[in-house]
Amino acid sequence: MTKTMKISEAVVRRLPVYLRFLNELHKKNVQTVSSQDLGQKLDLNPAQIRKDLAYFGEFGKKGIGYDVDYLIEKIRQILKLDKVIPVALVGAGNLGRALCNYNAYLKDNMKIVAVFDALSNKVGESINNLKVKPMQELCPTIKELNVRIGIITVPAAEAQSVANQFVESGVEAILNFAPIIIKVPNEIRVHHADFTTELQSLAYYLD
């Protein structure tokens, strides 16, 4: 079924979750896993997991399940994590620093290769072996390092301007942590990762 076909966002968002758990199984030397097992651990319906994977190919064996290592390889390919993806981050505040230091965890081929900040007292600081650069260097650096994804961790007031600069520099996708909806051309993908929204929607479920 590897045809061209719009895969729903919900499916795409589950793939990294599968990948993460498969990586754990790999570390534990588990060879094989069934959709049943996966579903139980990830709180998902097994049929859904099988269907998700089947959009991209026939990765399992009937009566057996999925080979862990093979499935890891396949999901990495699907998510384009089979080669290193250079990422840039703007906003060397607390959150930005946290994400940079997480770099180690971003093993699956995501690598923050440049950090920028508008404040001159931040510029030149070292974060996880990266020197913070001034905003003027954003565009040339992004082009030079072939950065494909941009992360925004600046205050809301500056987020749109940073997004514009990312777009002009040729970034293809943006992860925005600022609490504001940023507008970009259709061909650029934006994900919003705003934890105040997350926290406030949690409050609804309090008794």
Partner DNA sequence: TAGATTGTTAATCGATTAACAATC
Residue 138 makes contact with a copy of itself by CB under 8 A: no
Name every residue whose Cβ is closer than 8 Å to that of residue 168 and which is 6 or more positions away in sequence.
Answer: 139
Residue 67 makes contact with a copy of itself by CB under 8 A: no
Of 203, 102, 105, 78, the C-alpha closest to 153 is 102
Q: What Cα–Cα distance (Å) separates residue 68 from each residue in 21, 36, 83?
A: 10, 14, 20
| Order of strands across the sheet that contains 173-176 | 126-127, 130-134, 110-117, 85-90, 149-152, 173-176, 189-192
Give the number of other CB atoms < 10 A from CB of residue 25: 20
Least distance from C-beta 37 to DNA, angstroms?
A: 8
Q: Which of residues 184-203 bind a copy of itself (CB under 8 A)?
A: 189, 191, 193, 195-203
Q: Which does 184 bind (CB under 5 to 8 A by kind): a copy of itself, DNA, none?
A: none
Least distance from C-beta 63 to a copy of itself, angstroms?
A: 27
Least distance from C-beta 161 to a copy of itself, angstroms?
A: 16
- Of 16 and 64, the one with the shorter C-beta distance to a copy of itself is 16
Of 119, 120, 121, 162, the C-alpha closest to 142 is 162
Q: Is 94 annotated as a binding residue?
A: yes
Give the footprint of DNA on this chain (CB under 7 A): 1, 8-11, 34-36, 44-48, 50-51, 53-54, 58-66
Q: Is 57 annotated as a binding residue?
A: no
Least distance from C-beta 151 to a copy of itself, angstroms?
A: 8
What is the rounded distance in angstroms from the CA atom of residue 188 to the CA atom of residue 202? 29
Feature table: binding site: 91-96
Feature table: binding site for NAD(+): 91-96
